[in-house]
Amino acid sequence: MAGSMLQLRTSEEEESSLEICQLRRAVLQNDDRRLDEMLCQEIYKKVINCRGGWGIAGTPLHAAVSKGHLGCLQVLLAHGALVDCVDVKAQTPLFAAVRGKYLDCVLTLLRAGANPNGNSSNNGSPVLTAAREGDAEILRQLLIHGAEVNSRSKVLLWTSSARVSSGPLYLAAVYGHMECFKLLLLYGADPDYNCTDAALLNSVKQPKTVLEMCLRHGCGVEYVQLLIDFGANVYLPTLIIEKSTKQNEAVELLLRERGTPKALTSQCRLAVRRYLKKIDKIHCIDQLEMPTSLLNFLQFKAVPLTVL
Protein backbone atom coordinates (compact mmCIF):
# COMPACT_ATOMS: atom_id res chain seq x y z
CA MET A 1 0.00 0.00 0.00
CA ALA A 2 1.38 3.38 -0.85
CA GLY A 3 0.90 7.01 -0.03
CA SER A 4 0.48 9.59 -2.78
CA MET A 5 1.71 8.32 -6.13
CA LEU A 6 4.99 9.82 -7.24
CA GLN A 7 5.53 11.43 -10.63
CA LEU A 8 5.15 8.68 -13.21
CA ARG A 9 7.89 9.70 -15.64
CA THR A 10 10.54 12.42 -15.67
CA SER A 11 11.73 14.21 -18.83
CA GLU A 12 15.03 12.33 -18.58
CA GLU A 13 13.13 9.04 -18.49
CA GLU A 14 11.18 10.15 -21.59
CA GLU A 15 14.35 10.97 -23.54
CA SER A 16 16.36 7.90 -22.52
CA SER A 17 13.68 5.21 -22.55
CA LEU A 18 15.68 2.98 -24.92
CA GLU A 19 18.79 2.96 -22.71
CA ILE A 20 16.65 2.38 -19.60
CA CYS A 21 14.94 -0.59 -21.26
CA GLN A 22 18.30 -2.06 -22.30
CA LEU A 23 19.66 -1.74 -18.76
CA ARG A 24 16.52 -3.30 -17.38
CA ARG A 25 16.71 -6.18 -19.86
CA ALA A 26 20.28 -7.01 -18.79
CA VAL A 27 19.17 -7.00 -15.14
CA LEU A 28 16.13 -9.22 -15.74
CA GLN A 29 18.29 -11.64 -17.74
CA ASN A 30 20.67 -11.73 -14.74
CA ASP A 31 23.55 -10.80 -17.06
CA ASP A 32 25.78 -9.03 -14.56
CA ARG A 33 28.83 -9.04 -16.89
CA ARG A 34 26.88 -7.32 -19.69
CA LEU A 35 25.40 -4.92 -17.14
CA ASP A 36 28.88 -3.99 -15.91
CA GLU A 37 30.07 -3.31 -19.47
CA MET A 38 27.03 -1.12 -20.16
CA LEU A 39 27.49 0.93 -16.99
CA CYS A 40 31.06 1.76 -17.99
CA GLN A 41 29.47 3.84 -20.76
CA GLU A 42 28.17 7.30 -19.86
CA ILE A 43 24.98 6.88 -21.89
CA TYR A 44 23.87 4.10 -19.56
CA LYS A 45 25.47 5.36 -16.36
CA LYS A 46 23.43 8.58 -16.49
CA VAL A 47 20.12 6.64 -16.39
CA ILE A 48 21.12 4.15 -13.66
CA ASN A 49 18.58 5.63 -11.22
CA CYS A 50 15.76 6.20 -13.73
CA ARG A 51 12.47 4.36 -13.50
CA GLY A 52 11.51 2.20 -16.44
CA GLY A 53 8.78 4.24 -18.05
CA TRP A 54 5.11 3.54 -18.70
CA GLY A 55 3.87 0.45 -16.92
CA ILE A 56 7.22 -0.08 -15.16
CA ALA A 57 7.27 1.25 -11.64
CA GLY A 58 10.88 0.88 -10.56
CA THR A 59 14.55 1.47 -11.32
CA PRO A 60 17.08 -1.18 -12.46
CA LEU A 61 17.90 -1.70 -8.76
CA HIS A 62 14.24 -2.53 -8.05
CA ALA A 63 14.27 -4.96 -10.98
CA ALA A 64 17.39 -6.72 -9.67
CA VAL A 65 16.09 -7.27 -6.14
CA SER A 66 12.56 -8.19 -7.28
CA LYS A 67 14.13 -11.25 -8.96
CA GLY A 68 16.82 -11.87 -6.33
CA HIS A 69 19.62 -11.20 -8.85
CA LEU A 70 22.41 -10.56 -6.37
CA GLY A 71 25.21 -10.18 -8.94
CA CYS A 72 23.31 -7.45 -10.81
CA LEU A 73 22.50 -5.74 -7.52
CA GLN A 74 26.21 -5.65 -6.62
CA VAL A 75 27.15 -4.27 -10.06
CA LEU A 76 24.52 -1.54 -9.85
CA LEU A 77 25.66 -0.48 -6.38
CA ALA A 78 29.31 -0.50 -7.48
CA HIS A 79 28.41 1.88 -10.31
CA GLY A 80 26.65 4.31 -7.98
CA ALA A 81 22.99 3.26 -7.99
CA LEU A 82 21.12 5.04 -5.18
CA VAL A 83 20.43 2.44 -2.52
CA ASP A 84 17.24 4.16 -1.34
CA CYS A 85 15.75 5.15 -4.72
CA VAL A 86 11.97 4.74 -4.85
CA ASP A 87 9.48 3.39 -7.36
CA VAL A 88 6.16 5.08 -8.12
CA LYS A 89 4.69 3.68 -4.89
CA ALA A 90 7.56 5.07 -2.78
CA GLN A 91 8.88 1.54 -2.22
CA THR A 92 12.64 1.21 -1.85
CA PRO A 93 14.71 -1.69 -3.21
CA LEU A 94 15.01 -2.99 0.38
CA PHE A 95 11.22 -3.16 0.63
CA ALA A 96 11.13 -5.18 -2.61
CA ALA A 97 13.91 -7.52 -1.42
CA VAL A 98 12.08 -8.17 1.86
CA ARG A 99 8.82 -8.81 0.02
CA GLY A 100 10.63 -11.29 -2.25
CA LYS A 101 12.30 -12.96 0.76
CA TYR A 102 15.79 -12.58 -0.74
CA LEU A 103 17.98 -12.55 2.37
CA ASP A 104 21.27 -12.09 0.48
CA CYS A 105 19.87 -9.03 -1.31
CA VAL A 106 18.52 -7.65 1.98
CA LEU A 107 21.95 -8.00 3.62
CA THR A 108 23.73 -6.41 0.66
CA LEU A 109 21.38 -3.41 0.68
CA LEU A 110 21.63 -2.95 4.46
CA ARG A 111 25.43 -3.12 4.33
CA ALA A 112 25.33 -0.52 1.55
CA GLY A 113 23.49 1.83 3.91
CA ALA A 114 19.84 1.25 2.97
CA ASN A 115 17.34 2.75 5.40
CA PRO A 116 15.95 -0.30 7.28
CA ASN A 117 12.60 1.50 7.62
CA GLY A 118 12.11 2.04 3.90
CA ASN A 119 10.69 5.35 2.68
CA SER A 120 8.46 7.47 4.93
CA SER A 121 6.09 8.24 2.03
CA ASN A 122 5.13 4.57 1.82
CA ASN A 123 2.48 3.25 4.19
CA GLY A 124 4.16 -0.12 4.59
CA SER A 125 7.65 -0.88 5.84
CA PRO A 126 10.17 -3.72 5.52
CA VAL A 127 9.57 -4.68 9.18
CA LEU A 128 5.78 -4.88 8.73
CA THR A 129 6.28 -7.04 5.64
CA ALA A 130 8.74 -9.42 7.33
CA ALA A 131 6.51 -9.72 10.43
CA ARG A 132 3.44 -10.50 8.33
CA GLU A 133 5.31 -13.06 6.20
CA GLY A 134 7.00 -14.68 9.21
CA ASP A 135 10.49 -14.29 7.79
CA ALA A 136 12.44 -14.33 11.05
CA GLU A 137 16.00 -14.08 9.69
CA ILE A 138 15.19 -11.12 7.46
CA LEU A 139 13.36 -9.49 10.36
CA ARG A 140 16.38 -10.09 12.62
CA GLN A 141 18.71 -8.38 10.15
CA LEU A 142 16.41 -5.38 9.81
CA LEU A 143 16.26 -5.03 13.61
CA ILE A 144 20.04 -5.47 14.01
CA HIS A 145 20.43 -2.58 11.57
CA GLY A 146 18.18 -0.35 13.66
CA ALA A 147 14.72 -0.73 12.09
CA GLU A 148 11.78 0.67 14.07
CA VAL A 149 9.87 -2.05 15.93
CA ASN A 150 6.69 -0.09 16.63
CA SER A 151 3.88 0.75 14.23
CA ARG A 152 4.05 3.12 11.33
CA SER A 153 1.58 5.91 12.12
CA LYS A 154 -0.10 5.97 8.70
CA VAL A 155 -2.24 2.84 8.64
CA LEU A 156 -5.02 1.58 10.86
CA LEU A 157 -6.31 -1.96 10.66
CA TRP A 158 -9.92 -3.12 11.01
CA THR A 159 -10.02 -6.53 12.61
CA SER A 160 -12.63 -8.35 14.71
CA SER A 161 -14.71 -5.14 14.63
CA ALA A 162 -11.89 -3.31 16.40
CA ARG A 163 -9.81 -0.50 14.96
CA VAL A 164 -6.18 -1.01 15.95
CA SER A 165 -2.79 0.22 14.84
CA SER A 166 -1.21 -2.23 12.40
CA GLY A 167 2.06 -2.65 14.28
CA PRO A 168 4.38 -5.57 13.51
CA LEU A 169 3.63 -7.28 16.85
CA TYR A 170 -0.08 -7.42 15.96
CA LEU A 171 0.71 -8.90 12.55
CA ALA A 172 3.17 -11.49 13.90
CA ALA A 173 0.58 -12.59 16.50
CA VAL A 174 -2.44 -12.71 14.20
CA TYR A 175 -0.52 -14.64 11.52
CA GLY A 176 0.96 -17.00 14.14
CA HIS A 177 4.65 -16.17 13.71
CA MET A 178 5.99 -16.84 17.20
CA GLU A 179 9.69 -16.40 16.38
CA CYS A 180 9.03 -12.99 14.80
CA PHE A 181 6.82 -12.03 17.74
CA LYS A 182 9.62 -12.76 20.22
CA LEU A 183 12.25 -11.02 18.06
CA LEU A 184 10.19 -7.82 18.00
CA LEU A 185 9.86 -7.88 21.79
CA LEU A 186 13.59 -8.56 22.20
CA TYR A 187 14.37 -5.50 20.10
CA GLY A 188 12.16 -3.24 22.18
CA ALA A 189 8.65 -3.37 20.71
CA ASP A 190 6.12 -1.74 23.03
CA PRO A 191 4.24 -4.74 24.49
CA ASP A 192 1.02 -2.81 25.13
CA TYR A 193 0.02 -0.98 21.96
CA ASN A 194 3.09 -1.63 19.78
CA CYS A 195 2.81 2.08 19.12
CA THR A 196 4.50 5.12 20.63
CA ASP A 197 2.59 7.68 18.57
CA ALA A 198 0.23 9.44 21.01
CA ALA A 199 -1.66 11.17 18.18
CA LEU A 200 -2.41 7.82 16.54
CA LEU A 201 -3.58 6.22 19.78
CA ASN A 202 -5.77 9.25 20.51
CA SER A 203 -7.38 8.92 17.09
CA VAL A 204 -8.72 5.48 17.98
CA LYS A 205 -11.82 5.51 20.19
CA GLN A 206 -10.86 2.41 22.18
CA PRO A 207 -7.36 1.28 21.15
CA LYS A 208 -6.78 -2.44 21.66
CA THR A 209 -3.67 -3.73 23.35
CA VAL A 210 -1.64 -6.56 21.87
CA LEU A 211 -2.80 -8.69 24.81
CA GLU A 212 -6.43 -8.12 23.87
CA MET A 213 -5.79 -8.94 20.23
CA CYS A 214 -4.00 -12.16 21.23
CA LEU A 215 -7.00 -13.17 23.32
CA ARG A 216 -9.48 -12.22 20.58
CA HIS A 217 -7.61 -14.25 17.97
CA GLY A 218 -6.95 -17.22 20.27
CA CYS A 219 -3.21 -16.82 19.78
CA GLY A 220 -2.35 -19.17 22.60
CA VAL A 221 -0.86 -18.97 26.02
CA GLU A 222 2.76 -18.69 24.81
CA TYR A 223 2.06 -15.29 23.22
CA VAL A 224 0.41 -14.01 26.39
CA GLN A 225 3.28 -15.34 28.51
CA LEU A 226 5.82 -13.50 26.35
CA LEU A 227 3.90 -10.24 26.62
CA ILE A 228 3.79 -10.63 30.41
CA ASP A 229 7.52 -11.43 30.55
CA PHE A 230 8.32 -8.33 28.49
CA GLY A 231 6.36 -6.06 30.80
CA ALA A 232 2.92 -5.70 29.23
CA ASN A 233 0.42 -3.99 31.51
CA VAL A 234 -1.82 -6.91 32.54
CA TYR A 235 -4.45 -4.53 33.94
CA LEU A 236 -5.13 -2.83 30.57
CA PRO A 237 -7.19 -5.43 28.71
CA THR A 238 -10.92 -5.69 29.25
CA LEU A 239 -11.28 -9.45 29.43
CA ILE A 240 -13.91 -10.98 27.17
CA ILE A 241 -14.31 -14.58 28.22
CA GLU A 242 -15.29 -16.97 25.43
CA LYS A 243 -15.60 -20.75 25.31
CA SER A 244 -12.27 -21.43 23.61
CA THR A 245 -10.14 -23.67 25.83
CA LYS A 246 -6.98 -22.10 24.46
CA GLN A 247 -8.25 -18.63 25.31
CA ASN A 248 -9.39 -19.70 28.79
CA GLU A 249 -5.87 -20.93 29.55
CA ALA A 250 -4.47 -17.56 28.47
CA VAL A 251 -7.08 -15.67 30.49
CA GLU A 252 -6.26 -17.74 33.59
CA LEU A 253 -2.58 -16.90 33.13
CA LEU A 254 -3.46 -13.20 32.89
CA LEU A 255 -5.62 -13.33 36.01
CA ARG A 256 -2.87 -15.15 37.93
CA GLU A 257 -0.40 -12.47 36.88
CA ARG A 258 -2.76 -9.74 38.10
CA GLY A 259 -2.74 -11.29 41.56
CA THR A 260 1.02 -11.92 41.80
CA PRO A 261 3.61 -9.11 41.84
CA LYS A 262 6.54 -9.53 39.46
CA ALA A 263 9.77 -10.84 40.96
CA LEU A 264 12.33 -8.13 41.70
CA THR A 265 14.77 -9.73 39.24
CA SER A 266 12.18 -9.45 36.45
CA GLN A 267 11.45 -5.83 37.33
CA CYS A 268 15.19 -5.03 37.25
CA ARG A 269 15.56 -6.69 33.84
CA LEU A 270 12.66 -4.67 32.44
CA ALA A 271 14.06 -1.44 33.92
CA VAL A 272 17.47 -2.02 32.29
CA ARG A 273 15.85 -2.93 28.96
CA ARG A 274 13.60 0.16 29.06
CA TYR A 275 16.63 2.38 29.61
CA LEU A 276 18.56 0.71 26.76
CA LYS A 277 15.55 1.26 24.47
CA LYS A 278 15.35 4.91 25.57
CA ILE A 279 18.98 5.54 24.55
CA ASP A 280 18.53 3.48 21.35
CA LYS A 281 20.94 0.74 22.44
CA ILE A 282 18.55 -2.20 22.86
CA HIS A 283 20.18 -3.96 19.88
CA CYS A 284 23.64 -3.63 21.49
CA ILE A 285 23.11 -5.80 24.60
CA ASP A 286 25.78 -8.28 23.49
CA GLN A 287 28.34 -5.47 23.56
CA LEU A 288 27.78 -4.61 27.24
CA GLU A 289 30.72 -5.35 29.54
CA MET A 290 29.10 -7.76 31.96
CA PRO A 291 29.11 -11.52 32.64
CA THR A 292 27.56 -13.74 29.97
CA SER A 293 24.95 -14.97 32.45
CA LEU A 294 23.68 -11.40 32.89
CA LEU A 295 23.70 -10.78 29.14
CA ASN A 296 21.66 -13.96 28.68
CA PHE A 297 19.27 -12.85 31.42
CA LEU A 298 18.71 -9.45 29.76
CA GLN A 299 17.91 -11.25 26.49
CA PHE A 300 15.57 -13.83 28.09
CA LYS A 301 17.92 -16.67 27.15
CA ALA A 302 17.75 -19.85 29.18
CA VAL A 303 20.74 -20.29 31.49
CA PRO A 304 22.65 -23.43 30.42
CA LEU A 305 22.75 -26.16 33.05
CA THR A 306 26.18 -26.81 34.56
CA VAL A 307 27.24 -30.46 34.29
CA LEU A 308 29.04 -31.57 37.44
pLDDT tens digit string along 111-142?
Answer: 999 999 999 888 889 999 999 999 999 999 99
pLDDT tens digit string along 55-67?
Answer: 567 899 999 999 9
Tell me the average pLDDT across 284-293: 90
Same-domain pairing of 2 and 98: yes
Nearest to 275 by CA among 261, 288, 259, 256: 288
Q: How many residues does the chain have?
A: 308
Highest mean pLDDT among 107-111, 198-202, 225-229: 107-111
Residue 292 lies in a domain: no
Single-letter code of the amino acid located at 141: Q
Number of domains in the chain: 2
Same-domain pairing of 204 and 272: yes
Lowest mean pLDDT among 7-16, 35-44, 110-119, 270-279: 7-16
Residue 95 lies in a domain: yes
Residue 184 lies in a domain: yes
Q: Considering the chain, what is the average pLDDT of its residues?
A: 85
pTM of the model: 0.84
Residue 51 pLDDT class (50, 70, 90 cuts): confident
Q: Using a pLDDT cut of 70, give the percent of the chain over it.
A: 83
Tell me the average pLDDT across 257-277: 90
Owning domain of residue 229: 157-277
C-alpha torsion sign, points 40, 41, 46, 49: negative
Same-domain pairing of 168 and 105: no
Same-domain pairing of 2 and 119: yes
Give one DSSP letter per residue of 179-196, joined into a string: HHHHHHHHTT--TTTS--
Same-domain pairing of 61 and 109: yes
Alpha-carbon distance 95 to 118, whole Å?
6
Residue 283 lies in a domain: no
Same-domain pairing of 6 and 111: yes
Residue 235 lies in a domain: yes
Residue 143 lies in a domain: no
Residue 294 lies in a domain: no
pLDDT tens digit string along 155-205?
Answer: 444 444 444 557 899 999 999 999 999 999 999 999 999 887 777 777 777
Lowest mean pLDDT among 81-85, 201-205, 269-273: 201-205
Between helices 93-100 and 126-133, what is the axis angle to 10°? 0
Same-domain pairing of 105 and 210: no
Same-domain pairing of 73 and 3: yes
The beta-strand segments (E) located in 84-206 are 156-159, 162-165
With contact defined as beta carbons under 8 Å apart, do 123 and 156 qualify? no
Residue 163 is predicted with a pLDDT of 47
Tell me the average pLDDT across 28-52: 93
Residue 210 lies in a domain: yes
Residue 296 is predicted with a pLDDT of 92
Single-letter code of the amino acid located at 254: L
Residue 234 has pLDDT above 80, yes or no: yes
Residue 242 is predicted with a pLDDT of 52
CATH code, domain carrying 257: 1.25.40.20
